[in-house]
Structure 1
């Protein structure tokens, strides 16, 4: 039988072991857990029972101490947890520390230090360019193939999956309006993304090289960058996104360590323009990831964006983010930008799926151009794992509430 009677091929098997933070019913204490199937293992309690030297790192209310410990410790902790859930000799010791996933409360797994969001899908960028600049010519802006475009977001409004998203209010102005008006957004959207979680900080004034990506980044998580398109259209010139993005960003309760995704690493798309040395990845190890994302609106799958099509990699984003000397902090989060593929069913935002509302989606519960109050958006994903098994990524979900 598979380890601890887990069904064969379960995407949350011992080859995965994503990290989260949970609390038990009626308890205020939070602690680090790892997911195995539909169970959560109290990692700190198991580590103490087995005499692990890393028990103190895991007996924390967030993952930040583990994140800061560095790659060698990450590997050691992962190896000991894998042994704990697969070695029959440990079964009797660790079984009391498993809890049904349905019986625990999951929390934001790490304290977010800074949040940056990128714009790294060529397909998304071309679609957005064609929507907003329909007068012909190249829909990409001149700098897009030379550097990863990004903006600095708001760390304090990153929320865990399941948190209700209140419809934001702000200024908006339609092209036919004489003046802006204030009120709740009427063009509320999603952006299906992948977030990368920084563990080891860097010194201020010292850029992080492409090859050092895996020394600093602990793992990844699914991310939904909620976007108020009407507020964004009015405010983004000349400085870019602000209130249209800063009201909420949802992340999964589970962080998948990079070590669990070795079999999902792929070469990114061919670079069509020469890159400056600090971004040139021609001679580096493959830094793309083959992640298969699904976007569901009220339980109905509306898109399946492929992360392998992303033009700029997470390693390039990290290098660009720090090339000016900006430092990393433990708990920094950066988003990939909307993930969109070359086909219509692979678009990662309603902006693209409905072509800015022109072509509403036909859903079982009615048409949708943008999100309505009560709508629930869920992102899920998997990646190829060892021996053909899938590596599941923890889903991220949010329900829209009236503002």
Structure 2
């Protein structure tokens, strides 16, 4: 298996509206009736079943694809990632492989998708300047909108990996303490929100005590997923003074079922925004890892926002370097997210807190209803695309969740 060329055409019939063409080739974990979950690659309206195909080909690593998680493949490292991608690209773009491959193409409509990897740790950053400034205006109106350290380092918090769920999983409205008429009261969140984000998945672990330098980003990070970090703003607003988010965030974080490899994002790489002041030496860019990704937020069928990832102040390479700067180790399956992606314009905001301007400007949906925050039964989908080869755009998938009522308490 050789390193992957840029895939352009495929002998597989791929509809223009398909979520993934032959340029993306993301990995996920799927199952069919009566069979165990295993690793597949999405192409067009199909899932390529890698385990039996690799076995037929006699590949040394065939067993990695018969697992109910991507973790064993992620741990194999960047050389294996490149080799497998090269093999898959060849299979789906060269007609000579049609007879071999077709028996292992499963209709995507007939498979069930699972959480693609076992999440070891979850960290969420705060890398959008527009979002951080808006949040400052809402939560700290008498202080500067940006925290003092914000321009010097990627601010983040350590989340809860056990509540990371795959797209399509219902999200139960959380309960907690929030202020009602200035009195703390326990009950269901009344200001339930979303955060449209991009997450990065660690493959190769690092050793405790050894920071990961910015240039080593692609040796450790396998790929990306889309993230919706559901947020209970009233619970968060009461508890996060002065410590960071806890129950307002830890109840659910949804991710897309397909992990897009970094190799598919080569044409999306751009220089990040100009940083002022210049970052500390350990955070300086070795090569551009800004990403020109375009997100789309849909609320009950109405597209309400188009957040631009290109505006993110801190890159994923800098975030990984900062995460490990104190010697903290990363493990296979670690997930770290960008933080809410928001742009400076009103239709580029990646949270409903911002879209409704802290509840003062209701958002009108196509059915004539209005919203400020999420109601029970609401469905939110976050999608994204990126530049591909030859001026094309590639799909990066979607993450969807539906809100269900809070459970009753005695």
After TM superposition, the score normalised by the length of structure 2 is: 0.95
SS at match of 1:173: strand
Deviation at 1:342, TM superposition (A): 1.2
Large movers: runs of 4+ above 3 Å: 7-11
Match of 2:401 in 1: 398
Match of 1:345 in 2: 347
Match of 1:230 in 2: 234
Rounded to whole Å, the distance in 1 between the matches of 2:18 and 2:227 is: 23
SS at match of 2:249: helix
Deviation at 1:9, TM superposition (A): 8.6
1:75 aligned onto 2:85: no
Q: Given the alignment, which residue of 256, 262, 268 partners 2:266?
A: 262
Match of 2:5 in 1: none
Match of 2:281 in 1: 277
Q: Given the alignment, which residue of 4, 15, 23 partners 1:15?
A: 23
After TM superposition, the score normalised by the length of structure 1 is: 0.96
Match of 1:31 in 2: 38
Rounded to whole Å, the distance in 2 between the matches of 1:153 and 1:32 is: 26
Rounded to whole Å, the distance in 1 between the matches of 2:334 and 2:59 is: 28
**For 1:51-130, what aligned pairs fall within 5 Å after superposition?**
51-130=58-137
| 1:236–1:242 CA contact under 8 A, matched in 2 | yes
Deviation at 1:335, TM superposition (A): 0.5
Match of 1:360 in 2: 362
**For 1:310-389, what aligned pairs fall within 5 Å after superposition?**
310-365=312-367, 366-389=369-392
SS at match of 1:295: strand
| 1:353–1:361 CA contact under 8 A, matched in 2 | yes
Match of 1:143 in 2: 149
Rounded to whole Å, the distance in 1 between the matches of 2:188 and 2:283 is: 40
| 2:18–2:45 CA contact under 8 A, matched in 1 | no
Rounded to whole Å, the distance in 1 between the matches of 2:262 and 2:20 is: 15
Rounded to whole Å, the distance in 1 between the matches of 2:198 and 2:269 is: 14
Rounded to whole Å, the distance in 2 between the matches of 1:112 and 1:169 is: 24
Deviation at 1:10, TM superposition (A): 5.4
Rounded to whole Å, the distance in 2 between the matches of 1:270 and 1:245 is: 30
| 2:381–2:399 CA contact under 8 A, matched in 1 | yes
Match of 1:249 in 2: 253
Aligned residue pairs: how many?
397
Match of 2:6 in 1: none
For structure 2, which runs of at least 5 residues remain unmatched after alignment? 1-8
Rounded to whole Å, the distance in 2 between the matches of 1:371 and 1:378 is: 13
Q: Can you list the C-alpha shifts for 1:357-387, whole angstroms capped at 9, x where unaligned? A: 0111011341101000000000001000011
The Cα RMSD (Å) is: 1.3
Deviation at 1:8, TM superposition (A): 6.3
Rounded to whole Å, the distance in 1 between the matches of 2:112 and 2:17 is: 26
| 1:293–1:305 CA contact under 8 A, matched in 2 | yes
| 2:203–2:332 CA contact under 8 A, matched in 1 | yes
| 1:54–1:77 CA contact under 8 A, matched in 2 | no
Rounded to whole Å, the distance in 2 between the matches of 1:333 and 1:152 is: 10
Deviation at 1:314, TM superposition (A): 0.4
Rounded to whole Å, the distance in 2 between the matches of 1:80 and 1:364 is: 45
Rounded to whole Å, the distance in 1 between the matches of 2:353 and 2:18 is: 34
Deviation at 1:140, TM superposition (A): 1.0
